[in-house]
């Protein structure tokens, strides 16, 4: 069991007012899961659906959301929706996990999702749990290899982590998923 520290900065406090109800709805949908196997599937499905939405041209997103809606243009300032999605995915995961208000990481599926969060506190809790027992880390790696949805999210995030690592230098890369 690894204790989850409260994030220093809340996604809900720092996000635009118009985005907050959407973030709360994501957290609400995930919290309905009976266990972390169900929650992981729900998180992955939600985020892959958002990725597909952000991959649409800006005009199509605006049409789906309603003309002039800021949320439709949130994912793309320069027409590169998928790239922007990779930049905001950790924010969405962080918001979902904040909404769950969990106190400890105790399962491989949970640790895998916590590693995707924007919050270093979430990433450190996942890493601490995986390092506490070699079987924990092995279970997370096995789940990452075998779960199709999670693997798709990892592929979409590869560029984000490469940029993060380059910006942090080699001394702080331990908390980034591999």
pTM: 0.78
Q: How far apart are CA 72 and CA 92, in angstroms?
A: 16
Average pLDDT of the segment spanning 15-32? 91
pLDDT at 125 over 90: yes
Torsion angles phi and psi, residue 2, rounded to 5? -120, 125
Instruction: Look at 11-20, 51-60, 77-86, 139-148 and tell me which has the smallest mean pLDDT.
Output: 77-86
DSSP string, 19-32: THHHHHHHHHHHHT
Instruction: Look at residue 152 in the predicted model and tell me its pLDDT.
Output: 87
If one compares 71 and 14, the residue with the highest pLDDT of the two is 14
Q: Cα dihedral angle (75, 39, 134, 143), rounded to 10 degrees?
A: -70
pLDDT-derived band of residue 61, with 50, 70 and 90 as boundaries? Answer: confident
- Residues in the chain, overall count: 178
Q: What is the rounded average pLDDT of the residues 60-88?
A: 57
Domain ranges within the chain, ordered by starting residue: 17-164
| Residue 87 pLDDT > 90 | no
Q: What SS3 state is found at 167? A: helix
Average pLDDT over every residue of 79-101: 80
């Amino acid at each position: 069991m690894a204790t989850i520290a409260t994030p220093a900065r809340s996604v809900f406090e720092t996000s635009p007012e118009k985005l907050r109800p959407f973030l709360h709805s994501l957290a609400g949908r995930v919290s309905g899961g009976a266990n972390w196997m169900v929650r992981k599937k729900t998180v992955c499905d939600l985020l892959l659906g958002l990725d597909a939405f952000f991959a649409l041209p800006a005009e199509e997103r605006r049409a789906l959301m309603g003309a002039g809606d800021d949320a439709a243009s949130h994912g793309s300032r320069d027409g590169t929706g998928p790239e922007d999605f990779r930049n905001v995915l950790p924010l969405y995961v962080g918001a979902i996990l904040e909404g769950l208000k969990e106190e400890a990481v105790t399962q491989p599926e949970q640790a895998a999702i916590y590693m995707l969060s924007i919050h270093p506190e979430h990433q450190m809790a996942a890493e601490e749990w995986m390092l506490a027992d070699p079987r924990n880390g092995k279970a997370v790696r096995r789940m990452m290899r075998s779960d199709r949805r999670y693997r798709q999210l990892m592929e979409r995030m590869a560029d984000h982590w490469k940029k993060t690592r380059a910006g942090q230098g080699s001394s702080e890369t331990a908390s980034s998923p591999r």
